[in-house]
Chains A and B, each alone.
Chain A
Amino acid sequence: MDAIEVIDLTKRFGDNIAVNGIRFRVREGETFGFLGPNGAGKTTTIRMLTGMTGITSGRALIHGHDIVRDTLAAKRLMGVVSETSNVYDELSAWDNLIFTGRLYHLGKAEIQRNARDLLDTFGLYERRHEPAEGFSKGMKRRLTLAMGLVNSPEVLFLDEPTSGLDVQSRRLIRDVVQDLARENVTIFLTTHDIEEANVTCDRVAIINQGTIAAIDAPEKLKQTFESLQSVEVSFDSARPGLLEALRMLPQVNDVRKEGDKFRLYTADPPEVLGSLCVFAKEQNLRPISVTTRGPSLEEVFIRLTGLSVGMKKKVGGTDAGLV
């Protein structure tokens, strides 16, 4: 049985369709990323899957329990970490966890044991008796995460768990998520941080304007976009008109200047490497560094969501194989 099964899920707010007939399955123990720009419908999807908001049409099943008809059974299995760190400011970290444990009908001993372990994991144990209002943003985020885990959920929903955090908190949260994944906890996380999706997720769905543009493993998504391979080159001297000249090279779809480097997009890196050498000799330039790269997930994302960054088509050039 799938941990999460979503069938034609739709959410309207008045005339606005926030989520438009999405469908996907998440296997047990899988880490599934929901990647999309602001307003894509990520939070709305999580809110529907966790029973926090109604469903306009379609169905969502958590371990086979329909979230609408069998709400409580579905909710017992899950942990939810909202976009905002919604802790009770007036309560101490300890009391926040104890209260959350009680909402999940756990016994006193189990709550206390979990609370201790989680506070320890998230580096809050020393300050467990302080009211949360005195906590920094990162501490509140970690407490929110601990509260989402207090019932040892089988399915964990994380809405942008690391956004706005420093490297250390980010790494801590990432490590915890990876440990959970190893313990076969199913994780559904949203993010607009492509790198995060790349390193933590088994599969990624790219959502834009309420519809899913693609679902696949991060590496597979990259492979789909052969034309987004590139050759990165930097020369010993800058020269006006260089960008335009590079654009005219055969097999080059587009060129972007990134700092002191040029990135030449192509479906055929070896061919471009060859002509680049000839070009450099002719122009009397010396390449300091040359690297070839596969497409980054970011580029795949930008392509799929149609956000306008780079990738203008070269005049008279070939179309770069869009899906």
Chain B
Amino acid sequence: MPGWFEEISCDLGAAWAIARKDMKIYYIKPSILVSSLLFPFVMFLAFAIGRNAPAGTLIPGLLAITLLFSASSIEPVSIPIERRTKTFDRLIAAPVSIRAIVLGASLSGAVFASAIGVATTAIGLIAFRTGIIHIVALLAGIALTSLCFSTMGTLFAAYRTENVGEVMSLLNLVRLPLLFISGVFIPFASMPAWGQSIAFLSPLTYAHDLILFAFDGTTLFGPVADTLVLVLAIVLFQAVGALLYRRSRE
């Protein structure tokens, strides 16, 4: 076996082991599952009340927000906790590259958020009889958006602290503004020019655009461009994450 092949398969194996461990410990818990499934429902009420848009048109936006939050909420909590209990040291002491650790942590969030996203969509479809035009675009949108934002959560947890609150408040400083500049709350077309130029920098813009395309065919950038930007964002976040984790070793 060539060296690089063995290296990659070792990395992937370790990443998947870490992801499974995280899912078992942090995600597959009744309270987490219930609250994650209730989140889009609560958001739905918050949006639907007092608006006269047909309820079905809210689903793409809700799905995008749900993916953002469910993908990026656990790692910023679990990693500081693992630093405090020193279990994070286990990953560092093992013959596992930093790349694989970052990928593994992000994968667990991505798998979880994808599952929540599929469930949310299914409930939305049944409740509002909305259709899907492009199923492949939808599944790709869900998977890529989930991995993109779970990587973002992992990246923020690189901040070396054992205090969960510190990471969360940093993350929210970025996560909440994303909602307003990504065409989810305020349609892209009705944003001021400066808002639009910021929106170009937000991965959520492209995630939302891709999901919107899957549901009703409307798109600003086209599904291929959306996909490419999301993949690029994932690669960038993974690389920066690995760099930050390498640095954050004292």
Contacts and interface: CB of A to CB of B under 8 A. Distances in A.
Interface in A102-118: 102-105
A105 B13 contact: yes
A50 B17 contact: no
Interface string B129-167: 000000000000000000000000000000000000000
A91 B21 contact: yes
Contacts, number: 65
Interface in A50-105: 50-54, 71-73, 75-76, 80, 82, 84, 86-91, 95, 99-100, 102-105
A103 B87 contact: no
Given A51-B92, A52-B92, A105-B95, A99 B17 contact: yes
Contact of B91 (A82, A87, A103, A105): A103
Question: Which secondary structure dominates chain B's binding surface?
Answer: helix
A184 B103 CA distance: 36
B85 interface: yes
Given A53-B249, A86-B86, A102-B17, A75 B25 contact: no
A75 B93 contact: yes
B97 A99 contact: no
A103 B97 CA distance: 10
Given A53-B250, A95-B24, A102-B14, A86 B95 contact: no
Contacts of B14: 102-103, 105
A104 B25 contact: no
Contact of B89 (A73, A86, A102): A86
B79 to A, nearest CB: 14
A79 B97 CA distance: 17
Given A87-B87, A91-B21, A105 B92 contact: no
B115 interface: no
Contacts of B87: 86-88
Given A72-B97, A75-B95, A95-B24, A103 B90 contact: yes
Interface of B: 10, 13-14, 17-18, 20-21, 24-25, 85-87, 89-97, 249-250
Interface of A: 13, 50-54, 71-73, 75-76, 80, 82, 84, 86-91, 95, 99-100, 102-105, 147
Please list the 4 inter-chain residue pairs (A to B) with the smallest Cβ-Cβ separation, ordered nearest first: A102-B17, A103-B94, A75-B95, A86-B86
22 contacts: A50-B93, A51-B93, A52-B89, A52-B92, A53-B249, A53-B250, A76-B95, A80-B93, A86-B85, A86-B86, A86-B90, A87-B87, A88-B87, A99-B21, A100-B90, A100-B94, A103-B90, A103-B91, A103-B95, A104-B94, A105-B13, A147-B90
